[in-house]
Amino acid sequence: MSSRLSVEERRAHLIEAAIGLAEKKGVAGVTTRDVAQAAGVSLGVVHYCFENKDALMTELVKALSTELRDAIDANEAVWQSVGSGKEALRKLVRGGLELLWLNIEEAPERQLLTYETTTYALRAGGKTPAKLAIAREQYEFNDSTVADMLKHARDATGTQWAVPVATLSRFTLNLIDGIVLRWLVDNDSDSVRKQLDLLSEILTGYAEY
């Protein structure tokens, strides 16, 4: 890796190396020495950029969560000329869910990695609060991503949510977690899309116009 890279560029390079390793051997099996070797740098460089493995895993989680958020923002056409009212809201929410799903479907190994980072954090969270913080930050970021989508859909269609957006976003994310975990088991994408249809209808039931 070039010595001319900025600290942020070095960090991004190391995070991508860590993701690649974690996809192959699981989060628990990745060490900072492994990451240094995969990135082609000294161990000192890794520790210069990240205090320890937990700090690196926190940034890894942020990178995966950011990919999910970027997936929603990637297709502006979904958010244009949607009309107004509850039916328009349903279509828009379904379109946002589809963008999330396409990102997941294209890289199942990365989605599996998000579950592994959660279990990695929870297993040691009782003794190491910093590890528990990894999982909490992951879910808080993803909650905010879904909440932003629901707010955008609301504002674009002139509707209102009858329950707090924070409640709806948490509910939505919980269902998506279960839907995707089942998909990782049976690889039934048709079933996923049918369930996302149902989810968009359920959510629209909590809207007012």
Condensed to tens digits (0 to 9), the pLDDT of residues 159-180 reads 999 999 999 999 999 999 999 9
Confidence of residue 3 (pLDDT cuts 50, 70, 90): low
What amino acid is encoded at 162 in this protein?
Answer: A
Distance between CA atoms of residues 182 and 176, nearest Å: 10
**pLDDT at site 54:** 87
Q: Which long-range contacts (CB under 8 A, 24 or more apart) does 173-176 make?
A: 173/139, 173/142, 173/143, 173/146, 175/199, 176/97, 176/100, 176/146
CA atoms within 13 A on the CB side of 135: 17
Distance between CA atoms of residues 111 and 163, nearest Å: 29
Q: Domains, the chain, ranges and CATH? A: 1-50 (1.10.10.60), 52-208 (1.10.357.10)
Closest alpha carbon to 166 in 197, 190, 132, 142: 142
Count of C-beta atoms within a 10 Å radius of residue 24: 11
**pLDDT at site 27:** 86
Confidence of residue 5 (pLDDT cuts 50, 70, 90): confident
At residue 207, does pLDDT exceed 80? yes
* Ramachandran category for residue 161: left, alpha or beta (phi over 0 → left; psi -120 to 50 → alpha): beta
At residue 76, does pLDDT exceed 90? no
Closest alpha carbon to 111 in 158, 57, 176, 47: 176
| Helix ranges restricted to H, 30-126 | 32-39, 43-49, 53-73, 86-106, 108-125
